A and B are shown apart, each in its own frame.
Chain A
Amino acid sequence: MSIRSILKTRGELTQNSSAKCPIVMSTRIRLARNLAQYPFPGWAKKTQKEEVLGKCLEVVARIPKIKNPAALRIDELKELERQILFERHLISRELSNEPEGAGVIISANQACSIMINEEDHLRIQVIKNGLHLKRAWNFINSVDSSIEESLDYAYSEHLGYLTACPTNVGTGLRASAMLHLPGLVISGQMEKVVRAVNQLGIAVRGIFGEGSDASGSFFQISNQQTLGESEADIVKRLNSVIGTIIEREEDAREKVLEAESSKIFDKIGRAYGVLKNGYLLSSSEAMNRLSLIRLAVDFGSFPEQSRLLVDRLFIECQPGHVQLKANKEIDLTQRDVLRASFMREAFADLPEPSFDHITR
């Protein structure tokens, strides 16, 4: 089976942008689960992993909640196909790099993927566009229960769901949200926010490189602890932390607009110029420029419909997806040329940003 069917269908992350909560790009929950009778994948023999893969594929493919799934063996996928699934957050780097006995089941809308023989026998993941932690939990909870109807999970009354890494034991649940925080980055407040959030047992992942917006100002906020707190409480707490971060980000944007509007308009204008007219574009430059365009959509400087375009381009500007457009593997420079060319195309019809309504 190839991944073509996945690429043809509307995806949760590429086709579903919502303006309701512009700061939160997406919400994700994953559950780590293991079968009771087998060693964890990192310690299992090849035959054991194959057995686990066979059982899991059979059971998961029959789950009514996951409609028209694609069931893939990683060892049957080409390097580029793995890269594309990784860029779409459907498989992890680890699963891609260790294909022995590894598989994945992906729902047609790409909102649910179940990795088999990654760090744990099963890694169930649900992605939703925007901030929908509760909805994601309800959905993944029911998927998990349907799988468990047919498979005996490794579980102890005292420690909960038993996982390969002790950091996941208990609920096996990691909830996260991908936040777009250019305001906090530009105003130099990100580090302070990270510190405050950490006090609540919540982790922020992101590269605070020189200039600090090297990653497009995206940050993943997630719970770090899984034992001693129920799923509902983890989700509730994360939700409230995210709420606070959103308030801070809105605040920061307002202040940046008040104090340094020309600086920020200049950044947006230049990003627009480069994306519309550039001929060489690396993926990290593309991410950073697109990040500013997304901010400008939030400001109302571009039409709201362009949000969908920008969110799609975040994924399509990744190296694997650029090569998918080329229909073959191409080197770095060729990728930068091609990336710039489809950005020019994508931005050709986008009108210039308008800031009049902000400056009044």
Chain B
Amino acid sequence: MAESINCDICSKLATVHLTQIVNGKIHKIDLCETCAKEKGVTDPNGFSLADLLTSGVENEDFEAVHKDLVCEECGFAPEDYKKLGRLGCPRCYENLAPMIAPMLAHMHKGVSHVGKNPENTLIREVSRQKESNIKAQLQLAIEEERYEDAAKLRDQLMQLGEENETSNVH
């Protein structure tokens, strides 16, 4: 039988022991059954050791360093992350990068994505950009009274619209 170890959170007898090595650093967590349940350790779907590891890290500096950060898309701020352990929206990754980037380096094998791409999403994105480009050019052509150019641009826009229609975007 293993020697008795106390829970890292409440000091009761720990029965759940987890170890993970991230980038060569050993992280060990010992929890009692109550705290393990509370942290979702016993729920095979909802638990990630990395959450536990990051939630306790650098708490004191955390707020001071990231005081002025906020996601302009969704209003999410670093203190919300401290509370929820999750981000507000996809744009948070850019808008709160100074907070998120060091965490990612700590949690993962690398800092950039390797693997599958959402092909259709990317194609649609490119075509949206193209569309807004043409629209801007069209606006300019109209303002400068270059009507022949404007007609051409309008045709291009129509054609693009038809293509998008067939790809059935939601």
Q: Knowing A94-B45, A208-B2, say if A152 contacts B124 (CB, 8 Å).
A: yes
Whole-angstrom distance between the alpha carbons of A294 and B17 in the complex?
26
On chain A, the residues within 8 Å of B125 by CB distance are: 152
* Dominant secondary structure of chain B at its interface with chain A: loop
Partner pick for A141 among B104, B114, B116, CB 8 A cutoff: B116
> Which single member of A34, A209, A224, A230 contacts B90 (CB below 8 Å)?
A34
User: CA separation between A169 and B104, bound complex, in Å?
Assistant: 9
Judging by beta carbons under 8 Å apart, are A159 and B19 in contact?
no
Residues in A310-350 with C-beta less than 8 Å from chain B:
none
Q: How many A-B residue pairs have CB under 8 A?
A: 184
* Residue among A171, A194, A210 making CB contact with B15, cutoff 8 Å: A210
Interface residues contributed by chain A, number (CB under 8 Å):
67
Classify chain B's interface size: 35 or more
Cβ of A43: which chain B residues have Cβ within 8 Å of it? 74, 76, 80, 84, 86-89
Contact pick for B19, options A59, A195, A207, CB 8 Å: A195
CB of B87 within 8 A of CB of A94, answer no
Does A80 have its Cβ within 8 Å of any Cβ on chain B? Answer: no
B63 within 8 A of A: no
Instruction: Check A39–B74 contact: CB distance below 8 A.
Output: yes
- Say yes or no: is A38 at the interface (Cβ < 8 Å to chain B): yes
Interface residues of B in 120-152 (CB under 8 A from A): 120-122, 124-125
B56 within 8 A of A: no
Shortest B96–chain A CB gap in Å is 10
Cα–Cα distance between A148 and B109 once the two chains are bound (Å): 26
Given contact pairs A38-B89, A205-B41, A220-B44, A157 touches B49 in the complex (Cβ within 8 A): no
A 115-146 contacts with B by CB, 8 A: 119, 141, 144-145
Instruction: Please state if A161 and B41 are interface contacts (CB–CB under 8 Å).
Output: no
**Chain A 18-40 interface 0/1 with B at a Cβ cutoff of 8 Å (1 = within):** 00000000000000001010111
Instruction: Count chain A CB atoms within 10 A of each CB in B43, B50, B51, B74 and give the residue with the most.
Output: B50
Residues of A within 8 A of B (CB): 34, 36, 38-40, 42-43, 55, 58-59, 89, 92-94, 119, 141, 144-145, 148-162, 164-171, 173, 176, 191, 194-195, 198-199, 201, 203-205, 207-210, 220, 224-233
